Amino acid sequence: MKSVFQKIAAFSLALLVLGATMSFTVGMHYCGKTLVDYSFFNKVESCGMEMMQVPEIESCSIVVDNCCMEEHLTFEGQDILKSSWDQLKFQQQVFVASFSYGFLQIYKGENTNTHHFLDYSPPYLVRDIPILYETFLL
């Protein structure tokens, strides 16, 4: 049950990050006040009214307005997700380096079977100096 919840939570957080960082543009083509076509990825198809332009004649004073209109809505996603190491101050770099080193040392497995001086024997004890002078650390 716990692993299923963790998988669902991880998937939903991945979708949240994807939705926050994704940017897209919606293109819409209106003919008058009527929406003719919309597109998310491709170019919007027109209704064909652009082909029906009245040729300009010098003696004709009639001006025909174009009733077609294209509109583009752009939704910008977040671009800055990670700050660079170069943008941090020196004190912040020291803190991050020491924190990561300390954090990794917690999870580093200690090898308790290490014998550093297998090839060397301890020196011979001629006299036990702390007992001879009766100096003991308490």
> Can you give the residue ranges of every domain in the chain?
2-75
Chain segment 37-65, per-residue pLDDT in tens: 888 877 777 776 665 555 555 555 555 55
Q: Is the pLDDT of residue 16 over 70?
A: yes
Chain segment 90-100, per-residue pLDDT in tens: 999 999 999 99
Q: Phi and psi for 68 in degrees, rounded to 5?
A: -85, 150
Q: What is the mean pLDDT of the chain?
A: 80
Confidence band (pLDDT; 50, 70, 90) for 5? very high
